[in-house]
Amino acid sequence: MRVLLVEDNPQLVKAYRQGLEEEGFAVDVATDGEEADVKCRSTSYDVIVLDIMLPKVDGLTLLKRWRGSGINTHVLMLTAKATTADKVGGLDIGADDYLVKGADMDELFARIRALIRRGHQQKDPVLRCYNLEIDTAARTVRRAGQVVHLTPREYALLEFLAYHRGKVVTRSMIWEHLYDEYDENTSNVVDVYIRYLRNKVDKGFEPALILTRWGEGYMLRGDDDPPLQKG
């Protein structure tokens, strides 16, 4: 999943970005309000982590503009202030969650994952497809009860397919959500990772769950797809 981190403190940018990438998120960074506004309007993010105190345009003003423009991306406000009034102010203008700087990094990750689930109307942290289970909280995968070991990038791709289960996702959609602005890979890397996933998730199991829709993209098998259909 792709996250926009809006923060002007270099040390915090480094720490948050490294932590998020280790969790498998693709991370873009903006260090002032104007840059954040441009990136938000030009890229589809799953979550925006937004500092309140920013150069050029502050976070609250940015959020008001985005909501006024119909941008509904989930926003987690980050601030050094911890008063109730500050939290209420941010939530009342459209923030989806609020976290005080210095909070445990695992809490940040958990809140981001919760916002992603909310965006997909998914309350249960475990995504299921036939005998495949994806625990989005623990970031673990099982097929027919067997643990499937995935790299962070493989896991991110499988999770993305699962959130869109039964629907075709194009290569460009996958690329936009799983790769950040700094990634130097070419778009055909998506096909490579689909192959990796099939070797780990589908090989030796029935039915095949990762399907190809030629000329369209890929999908994780929906309930209505014939059980013997091959990808």
pTM: 0.82
- Rounded alpha-carbon distances, angstroms, from residue 69 to 38, 63, 66, 201: 13, 10, 5, 41
The per-residue pLDDT for 185 is: 63
The ranges of the chain annotated as CATH 3.40.50.2300 are 2-119
Evaluate whether the domain defined by 126-220 bears CATH number 3.40.50.720.
no
Q: Which amino acid is at 25?
A: F
Per-residue pLDDT of 146-187, as tens digits, reads 999 999 889 999 999 999 999 999 988 888 888 777 766 666
Tokens in use for 203? 């090989």
Return the SS3 of 103. coil
Mean pLDDT taken over the chain? 89
Per-residue confidence at 92, pLDDT binned at 50, 70, 90?
Answer: confident
Residue 73 vs residue 189, higher pLDDT: 73
Number of alpha carbons in the 13 Å side-chain half-sphere of residue 82: 4
Q: Is the pLDDT of residue 103 over 90?
A: no
CATH class of 2-119: alpha beta
User: Angle CA(82)–CA(85)–CA(91) in degrees, nearest 5?
Assistant: 90
The ranges of the chain annotated as CATH 1.10.10.10 are 126-220
Mean pLDDT to the nearest integer, 121-147: 93
